[in-house]
Structure 1
Amino acid sequence: MPTPPYDIQMRLSNIMTCLTVTGDTLRILAASLKGPFLEMLSVTTQSLLKNIETVKQNKNNCVVLMEQTYELLNAIIILHIKSETGGELPPITLKHIGNFTETLHKIHTFVEAQQSGSKIKMFFRQGQMSTLLKDCKNGLKQGIEVFQIKTVDIMGDIAEIQQQAKTRHQEVLAMIDALSDAAGSDGASTMSWIYSGHNRSPP
């Protein structure tokens, strides 16, 4: 049974509200930590926010993809917040984030192709769009399993979900402030090591 258009529009509005905060948080992380994939995740998320507003086709699929994308982006932000090495993550975790980054690019392509008169869609042969959607869903499913995410109901308590997103944003700001304080007390060389992303011992 198809989802009523009103529900789809509500879910779309909710996920855009939450993803806007998450996108801002990613942007700050990317600018401050210079970690692998953060910049790509940030830029792609910002572009997705613009494209999702004008989706004309496959709205239900687009909303589902965006809801799961939101959960995975939050999981990645939390990993950086909880990191005990100045936002630096283990190689295996970075590999998983890299895999999700590839999936996010596919999601962006799919969503962009759902615009009215999309030029991108003209490049897809019949059946290729279905294959792309399947790849997006499989990539998200893998990410949710890897990062052990418990899915949330975006149609549930939207106020609470928004507050959680804002809290994570403040936690990122606090983490960056703490790293800045460490630079002041321990010297610029230590912060250079933290921000470099290289696997070597600190000075």
Structure 2
Amino acid sequence: MTLTESLGNLNLLSQLAARAYTFALSPSVLETAKAWAIIMGVATTALYVVIQETNKKGETSLRIGPDEEPDPDWKKKPKAPPVDDKKEQNRMRLQLQDDPGNTFGIPIENSSLLGVTVSQVGQAVFAMWQYRRTLASWFPKDHDTALIKAMAGVTKKAKNAQAEGGVFQGSSQVYSRQWNENDPKGIKPVSRGYYRVDFENLQGHNLRF
């Protein structure tokens, strides 16, 4: 299933949230639908791409970068550095991890002219959801609801940060949500849990757009 297909399927949940008053949905289902509605509110797929990379050990990783397709108006715009020019790239990271130290991190990159955008964060959230089974096989399926709530928190925080002019500090935590093994629905977030989702600003002024 492609990311675009996933977006189409998950749009049903956001529709349920928007029309919740017409359905006798259980509180947990409604809460999950509302979380997806928040995610859908900032995610787009038109401008950014999910890049799959495999290292020499055969390990697969993801990163979110600008769309590298030719732009017919490129002469009218300032020239942005190439995606792989790490010194000039603004960077953030979305990461899922557990207490034993397993991690599934997704770097998010863009030129210093634009910085990482809210739309890219939405793309990273969907990539985390789509690839969680293959790249985070240690994460239990019954905790998906808790993960959805954490991802909704990330996208909501990104949107709020944009309204405030973005985030500036390098190597700083923008958002974190943690929960315990016995709380698969993520009903009771804690300050130190077994599972966690972290959203970090690594370099540059980001979430301006």
Quick check: TM above 0.5?
no
TM-score relative to the length of structure 1: 0.33
Q: Which has the higher contact order (CA 8 A, sep 6+)?
A: 1
Which structure features the higher share of strand residues?
A: 2
Which structure features the higher share of helix residues?
A: 1
Kindly name which structure, 1 or 2, has the bigger radius of gyration based on alpha carbons.
1
